[in-house]
Amino acid sequence: MRSGTSKGTAARLFGYLGDQKIRLTVVAVSIVLYVILSIWNPMYSAVVVDHLWENIQAAKNSGQVFAVTWERTGAELARLALQYFLAWLFYYLQVYLMASVAETMILKMRRQIAAKLNRLPLRFFDRNKAGEILSHVTSDLDKISEVMQTGLLKLITALGTIIGSLAVMFYYSAALTALFLVFMAVCMGITKIVSERNLKYASEQQETIGALTGLAEEYYNGRNVIKAFRHEAESIRDIQQAAEQVRIANQKTGFLTNCVNPLIRLLTRMSHVVIALIAGRAMLEGRMTVGVVQAFFQYINQTGEPMTEASYMINSLQTAFASAARTFQLLDEEEERPDPAVPADIGRAKGEISFSHISFGYEPERLLMKDISFTARPGQKIAIVGSTGAGKTTLVNLLMRFYEVSGGQIRLDGVSTAQMSRKGLRENFGMVLQDTWLFGGTVAENIAYGRPDAPREEIIGAARAAKADYFIRTMPQGYDTIVDHEAANLSAGQKQLLTIARVFLADPPVIILDEATSSVDTRTEAEIGKAMKLLMTGRTSFVIAHRLSTIRDADLILYMEHGNILEQGNHKELLKKNGRYAALYYSQFA
């Protein structure tokens, strides 16, 4: 990351703090008061120590017993203790409020990312692994939060304390302060070298974590396939290699981040030894008092330790900026085409759908579909067939506006779907996909996903229509049984039946079935077929099927190859043509 990019990332990151001005003002005031007290307390301690030393000397010379009274340094000691207490109080206040500021900022970023993910086109999720996306809202934001809560606060406090302490140190002894600064200059040089390398390694660290998360998520979801094809050893090797990359990146970043502290602390301690020898001689010669020497060493600690922390926090800030840059990269991804300002509203559609000279490509320069045209009348059953990769699912995705067409128009009841809001369009569709998906919740809540306010009797009615009521009642709590998205206690066929019941309950005017019965047995498929026939009565339906026996009664069959419709017509018409569809059909029933 270039310095200019770092500055831009930092400016954009701090821009999120604009709505927390009151809390930031209190934090700023607390920092100022804490720094002032941190600088003033050692100066005042010098006065107290010198007075205390004078009283001790006077008592010794007069032969009296030394005692601290309110009049004899007692009040001064109490005042010093109060000042140290106030310094702690202001430090506590700034830390408490800054934690709130940081978490509020991170919450805002999480909400933006959540909203952004809903606006991203399907192609973004096609080219990015789920684990890598999850790392943006977990490890990246956690790193930013950690640095904003502690690192930034310590850095600002350290800079203020260093500047003020050096000013007082020059007042006490310019020579000793100059000697101390020579040691600190070496420390800062080392810090600069380390921070530049650490930024590079921090970016690598976050990238390797994202890759490992994505791989783990992929292998976890595909664990059954991995076991079935006996690829356990290979998957373990891949995970180990990804984990090794994370280890190497973490090792580099951790070493550079942590090794600089002991080195700088060693140099600081060496400066203490040299300065102590010189200050001791000055004290013996009467050029410095005991109080001033102890105050000077307080300032050395207040300057040296913050310099050590500053070097550490600068490296941590570099890591946070790398995480912020990755987060902003996600937020800057190209979004879906926005809905029209005044979208067309057709209410509940009648179900007439027309494709007019549609062209589409995942990449603009490489078209998959060219000049696709057909019309589905209300209540018709449209079957889409063809070999794997022919473009059947892509055709449905265009209909749902998961992808935008490159040319032509898709109309619903004569209205271009591009003129409608996605919400308004998709309210008219119900989908049953080949890959089932259940959400964390009860069985009833999963069926009612499309109609959360549906009464229980309608949910049960939809389950009966989908032939799911019987097996649901055999579950431990029936419709109130808790399932998650894995639904390990359900068979693939049972999960499919629940998703079919979900569409029954939604009762949309247009239905899309993408191999909806692929996971059920022949008997269940026949029963679902009867229910589907009843469901599709009076509704437009699109059926993607590999088993042609299920779509012989379709009003229109579209035979696709390589993204294009080569033949269309009903079953009898296509058999008479004796073309591609007929060859496919006879190959299944030879």
Q: pLDDT tens digits for 451-462? A: 888 999 999 999
Q: What is the pLDDT of residue 4?
A: 43
pLDDT band, residue 415 (cuts 50/70/90): very high
Q: What is the 3-state secondary structure (H, E, C) of 137-196?
A: HHHHHHHHHHHHHHHHHHHHHHHHHHHHHHHHHHHHCHHHHHHHHHHHHHHHHHHHHHHH
Structure tokens at 8: 């831009």
Q: What is the pLDDT of residue 44?
A: 84
> Domains along the chain?
20-331 (1.20.1560.10), 353-588 (3.40.50.300)
Q: Output the CA–CA distances (angstroms, integers) from residue 577 to 386, 570, 589, in the order listed.
A: 16, 11, 17
The amino acid occupying position 39 is I
Higher local confidence (pLDDT), 530 or 172: 172
Q: Output the CA–CA distances (angstroms, integers) from residue 26 to 14, 20, 147, in the order listed.
A: 17, 10, 19
Does the pLDDT of residue 115 top 60, yes or no? yes
Higher local confidence (pLDDT), 413 or 439: 413
Tell me the average pLDDT across 334-345. Answer: 87
Q: Which residues contact 465 (CB under 8 A, 6 or more apart)?
A: 501, 504, 531, 534, 535
pLDDT (tens digit per residue) in 12-31: 888 888 788 888 889 889 98
pLDDT band, residue 312 (cuts 50/70/90): low
204 class by beta-carbon count within 10 Å (0-12 exposed, 13-18 middle, 19+ buried): middle
pLDDT (tens digit per residue) in 266-288: 777 788 888 888 888 888 887 88
Does the pLDDT of residue 547 top 80, yes or no? no
Q: What is the pLDDT of residue 1?
A: 42
Give the separation between CA 224 and CA 498, rounded to whole angstroms: 22
pLDDT (tens digit per residue) in 247-268: 888 888 878 777 776 777 777 7
What angle in degrees, to the nearest 10, is found between the helix axes of 456-465 and 492-506?
A: 120
Give the separation between CA 540 and CA 398, rounded to whole angstroms: 16
Q: Provide the percentage of residues in the chain whose pLDDT is more than 70.
A: 94
Q: Which residues contact 73 (CB under 8 A, 6 or more apart)?
A: 48, 51, 52, 55
pTM value is 0.63
Residue 145: name the closest of 116, 107, 115 by CA: 107
Does the pLDDT of residue 531 top 80, yes or no? no
Does the pLDDT of residue 558 top 90, yes or no? yes
Structure tokens at 207: 């990238």
Does the pLDDT of residue 298 top 80, yes or no? yes
Instruction: For 87-132, give the DSSP string.
Output: HHHHHHHHHHHHHHHHHHHHHHHHHHHHHHHHHS-HHHHHHS-HHH
Structure tokens at 57: 């000397």
Instruction: Judge whether 466 and 504 are in contact, CB under 8 Å.
Output: yes
Give the separation between CA 379 and CA 510, rounded to whole angstroms: 8
pLDDT (tens digit per residue) in 465-485: 888 888 889 888 899 988 876
Give the separation between CA 415 and CA 306, rounded to whole angstroms: 67
